[in-house]
Structure 1
Amino acid sequence: MSRIISTKSIAAILFCMLFYVASLKAQTQSEFKVIAFFTAKNDQAHISYVKEAHIWFSEMADKHHFAYDTTSHWENMNTKFLTQYQVVLFLDTRPEAAEQREAFRQYMEKGGAWMGFHFAAFALTPSAYPQNWDWYHNKFLGSGQYKSNTWRPTSAVLRVEDRKHPTTQNLPETFDSSPNEWYRWEKDLTQNPDMHILLSIDPTSFPLGTGPKPHEIWHSGYYPVVWTNAKYRMLYVNMGHNDIDYESGTNETLSYTFNNPVQNQLIMDALLWLGKGGKAALSH
């Protein structure tokens, strides 16, 4: 005896099928999830850069099928919140509260991935951002405190130190960066076996910076600008400081970080490496 399927049953089956297909499509479109923490206060150069970063990463998320969320609420740096994401970005600062720092350390040690930009590595005692987080600055980043910087923000010739790494394999041997304020660090990364330097400032860049103070112009030295720590799924990028018209008081943006196709290739390849290869952080 044949069974007659009612119109309501057919509609229910079709709804379930459509929901299933939509779920699969959503999963395909969002291969991994990124959360960008930011502060974007006080320094107009960092504010300009963060606004630019949000636009660029959102466009890249649509193009490369990942989800990009942002938050300026650092209290979200907790275990429950972080387990939703495969990659954490620090766009301009770092967590300050002890519980936030511990949540981030556990996230990384349990398989999470991270990319930090420019000021995210800054620490100087005494300052508003003292070096009071040993694990992060000395062990995770390996750079220690900030020592000095170039001024004004200027383009540098960057040299790829490792052409075989997933983040650099699509880059030329050298390329011109976007204008940036370049940092020098307390610790020598070449002496740390955990640190893998991917890009450095090529000597053809010197003199680097325009001053006006003489110490703001570099004439020699070795300066890593992109590196990773072999013990973690992470990447630090020194870029992330736009040039600003401070002098006339307009605070107009004079240069942009994400208008450089080669540099953008580096950042996007790095994010895809972290997101697709990184493990999701565990909830326990």
Structure 2
Amino acid sequence: MDTRPEKPGQRAAFEHYMKKGGTWMGFHFAAFALPQSAYTDDWPWYNNDFLGSGNYVSNTWRPTAAVLRVAEKKHPVTKGLPPTFRSAPNEWYRWQYDLRNNPDIDILVAIDSSSFPLGTGPKPQEIWHSGYYPVVWSNKKYRMVYVNMGHNDIDYENKTNKELSFTFSSPVQNKLLINALLWLGKKNSTDKKQPAKERH
């Protein structure tokens, strides 16, 4: 999912689904919320409790690859990944809340400091020179994974809107996404395992 539900009925159904053990994997814009925009901060449960990130604050521009560092090596989503890897080009987001202060959040992957400066501008605030930026995380209260990746580089200058990069061009990043899907597709770890002779 790369956007959020907007209609009241959709939101209520999604919240009920997640609270009853549903699974979710969201990409990039799915976490976007900005006051006084078309996607305003009018769903506190989703952005503050479920995602934990609060509002979108800023981004890097234009979409560019980054060196990412695995922050939680023992999580199934990061299984088999190297300590650092190069992502596909992406527009990276910065958030209202520091996810490191939320005990419910497992930060799985973050931007490595070797990526700085990150972004090309032209606005100075679109080029990051330091800071801590999580890009993949999970919430222990829900079966979910959020992945900030998903915004390809596009030929805006010549107005062709031709894709200049592809989200699935990084084999290691692809492994992370497959790991996440496999993990979300499994039963909860608290479920009792069937005896071997009863498994199908």
Is the structural similarity TM-score above 0.5? yes
2:58 maps to which residue? 148
Q: Which amino acid aligns with 2:102?
A: N
Q: Distance in 2 between matches of 1:164 and 1:190?
A: 17
1:187 maps to which residue? 97
Q: Which amino acid aligns with 1:249?
A: K
Gaps of 5+ in 2: 190-200
Q: Distance in 2 between matches of 1:204 and 1:101?
A: 39
Q: Distance in 2 between matches of 1:124 and 1:256?
A: 26
* Deviation by residue 1:177-213 (Cα, 9 ceiling, x = unmatched): 0000000000111111101100000000000001111
1:260 maps to which residue? 170
Q: Is the 8 A contact 1:143 1:188 kept in 2?
A: yes
Q: Which amino acid aligns with 2:164?
A: L
Q: Which amino acid aligns with 1:216?
A: E
Q: Which amino acid aligns with 2:175?
A: Q
Q: Which amino acid aligns with 2:7?
A: A
Q: Is the 8 A contact 1:180 1:242 kept in 2?
A: yes
Shift of 1:249: 1.2
Tell me the secondary structure at the aligned position of residue 110 of structure 2.
strand
Q: Distance in 1 between matches of 2:173 and 2:85?
A: 8
1:56 maps to which residue? none
1:270 maps to which residue? 180
1:202 maps to which residue? 112
Match of 1:102 among 12, 15, 22: 12
1:30 maps to which residue? none
For the aligned residue pairs, the C-alpha RMSD in angstroms reads 1.0
Q: Is the 8 A contact 1:113 1:278 kept in 2?
A: no
Shift of 1:278: 5.0
Q: Which amino acid aligns with 1:217?
A: I
2:26 maps to which residue? 116
TM-score, length-scaled by structure 2: 0.93
* Deviation by residue 1:233-282 (Cα, 9 ceiling, x = unmatched): 00000000011001011111000001111000000000010012359xxx
Runs of 4+ in structure 1 deviating by more than 3 angstroms, as ranges, are none
Q: Distance in 2 between matches of 1:129 and 1:277?
A: 33
Gaps of 5+ in 1: 1-89, 280-284
Q: Distance in 2 between matches of 1:198 and 1:249?
A: 36
TM-score, length-scaled by structure 1: 0.66
Q: Which amino acid aligns with 2:16?
A: Q
Shift of 1:99: 1.1
Number of aligned residue pairs: 189
Tell me the secondary structure at the aligned position of residue 123 of structure 1.
coil
1:245 maps to which residue? 155
